[in-house]
Amino acid sequence: MKRNPSKLYSQHVANLRELQVALDNIARLAKACIASSDPQKSLRTLLRTYSFLIGAWAECRLKKLLNEEFGFSDAERAQIEEKSTQFDQWKEAIDCAFRKHHSLPKARLNEQTLGVSHAARRSALRNVLDNELKIIIEIRNKLAHGQWIYPFNNAGTKVENDKYQLINKENLLSLRFKLALIGHLADAVHELVVSPATFERDFDTHFRHLNQVRVNLQKKDYAKYESSLIESRKKARERQKASFSAGVTPPA
């Protein structure tokens, strides 16, 4: 069957939009659980669902990127898609983008071939992928197979302790930061492939945003975030109670 890139692109956009709606809805429910101190003990379920949806969103965002009308060629797209994991496809997409930008189909990518500035940019993008995003991309398959507490190795013979630690320490704040990181990463690669001039102009802005999210991921205190949601809910209920006491009908 003949490929129709524009139709595929629009279909991936529609999927991505629907996934974003799902993510927003789950995040809203999770925030409400946190604010109410999770009386139904449903927060962990929502966080696992949110994590799974981020993995799906990441894959769909990659598909959208690969099917941009003026982006990767069919050969480049095939080279990326032949990688067996989504994580490796993201790595290959980054490298293909730099190869395309510099017209380097075969040469090694380093400071000599890319220049110091672009070599540093490539390293920055790959570091984000390796250090912050690998777990969120890879854990989706574990969650899809029902491994919501104990993620097993591919043979199913033992628990992968590193993934166990990572999946069980994620919270709504860290997951939202990681979702933002995937978006910034995809935007940077998009501009490098589709609009090299825009990449040159805007990459520093993208990287500044990306780096700020990385800092927030490390520095933001979840306990303070949790307390702020609880306090906000408490104040809202107090205002509502005061309005009822004063005979004021609350807005619908």
Residue 202: Cβ-neighbour burial (10 angstroms; 0-12, 13-18, 19+): middle
Structural tokens at position 57: 């969103």
Determine the pLDDT at residue 1: 44
| 3-class secondary-structure state, position 195 | coil
The pTM for the full model equals 0.88
- Residue 189: half-sphere exposure toward Cβ, Cα within 13 Å: 32
Domain boundaries, the chain: 5-220
Model confidence over 68-125: pLDDT tens digits? Answer: 888 899 999 999 999 999 999 999 999 999 998 888 988 899 999 999 988 988 998 9
DSSP secondary structure code for residue 68 in this structure: -
Q: 19 with 57: CB under 8 angstroms?
A: yes
Determine the pLDDT at residue 91: 95
Q: 35 with 228: CB under 8 angstroms?
A: no
What does each C-alpha distance from 199 to 117, 193, 204, 244 come to in angstroms?
Answer: 13, 8, 9, 55
- Helices marked H in the chain — which ranges? 5-35, 43-66, 74-81, 86-102, 111-114, 116-128, 134-144, 161-169, 172-194, 196-219, 222-245
Determine the pLDDT at residue 6: 78
Q: pLDDT tens track of the chain, all 252 residues? A: 455 667 899 999 999 999 999 999 999 999 999 999 988 899 999 999 999 999 999 999 999 999 988 889 999 999 999 999 999 999 999 999 999 888 898 889 999 999 998 898 899 899 999 988 998 888 898 999 999 999 999 899 999 998 898 888 899 999 999 999 999 999 888 888 887 777 777 777 877 888 899 899 989 999 999 999 999 998 888 887 777 777 655 555
- State the residue for tokens 């104990």: 150
Task: Give the integer Cα–Cα distance in Å for 80 and 88.
Answer: 8
Task: Give the integer Cα–Cα distance in Å for 16 and 110.
Answer: 33
Determine the pLDDT at residue 14: 96
